[in-house]
Amino acid sequence: MSVADHINRVSRRIPPWTIYIAALAWAGWLFWLGLSGNLGPEPINALEREYGSIALKLLIAGLCVTPLRTYFGVNLLRFRRQIGLSAFFFVVAHFSVWALLDVQSFGRVWTEIVKRPYVTVGMAALVMLIPLALTSNNASIRKLGKNWRRLHWLTYPIAVLAGIHYVWLVKGFPWEPFIYMAIIVVLLALRFLPKRKKSASKRSGQPQSAR
């Protein structure tokens, strides 16, 4: 049995809803650490960044699902919805901590969104995530049909905006945000690579081999 087959076999035994439980538990634990003074001298800022970091990692994890299946045979499609909704949850938590606990004023929130580019792109990503979260259910898939897939292509610009938000947020030139941005770019390139191969085979008149 290959490594991919072993991973697929194990993953089939894990209920997808456990991702929700893990996300809620981790968010709650971080919030408790902030309340108890265990997130450093600036707990609000630390909590805000922790939630944002987890959200970005989950967005990247969601982008990994298709390349893992295409190039390595690892099928985690049954978890993609839960990963996406958990990412949305942490984005909302990240925004809520910033708006309610850090800025603490609707007027200032709007000013920051307009004034600071990194906040602008972060807010744009959040707004774009809302329709995806609202339609991440079987009823919406049936109702929207092919338009559902078109709508959820917003995942790609959302990931790019999230990466840019992180790069612009940090001061100086630390490696971490640039590494995340590079991973996003590579994953997007891998996502579109099969279509380019398919198009090339069609132009040459050669049949494409089955995958």
Tell me the pLDDT tens digit for each residue of 39-84.
Answer: 989 999 999 999 999 999 999 999 999 999 988 999 999 999 999 9
Task: Classify residue 206: in a domain, yes or no.
Answer: no
> What's the number of domains the chain is made of?
1
Task: Classify residue 199: in a domain, yes or no.
Answer: no
Task: Classify residue 79: in a domain, yes or no.
Answer: yes
Task: Evaluate the CA torsion angle 38, 40, 41, 44 in order and state its sign.
Answer: negative
Domain that holds residue 7: 3-190
Distance in angstroms (rounded) separating the CA atoms of residues 131 and 206? 40
Place of tokens 């279509």: 195
Task: Classify residue 80: in a domain, yes or no.
Answer: yes
Whether the predicted pLDDT of 206 surpasses 50:
no
Task: Classify residue 119: in a domain, yes or no.
Answer: yes
The model's confidence at residue 186, banded by pLDDT at 50, 70 and 90, is very high
> For the segment 74-88, what is each residue's pLDDT rounded down to a tens digit?
999 999 999 999 999
Contact 132, 83 (CB under 8 A): no
Contact 46, 30 (CB under 8 A): no
Angle at which helices 80-96 and 117-134 cross, to 10°: 140
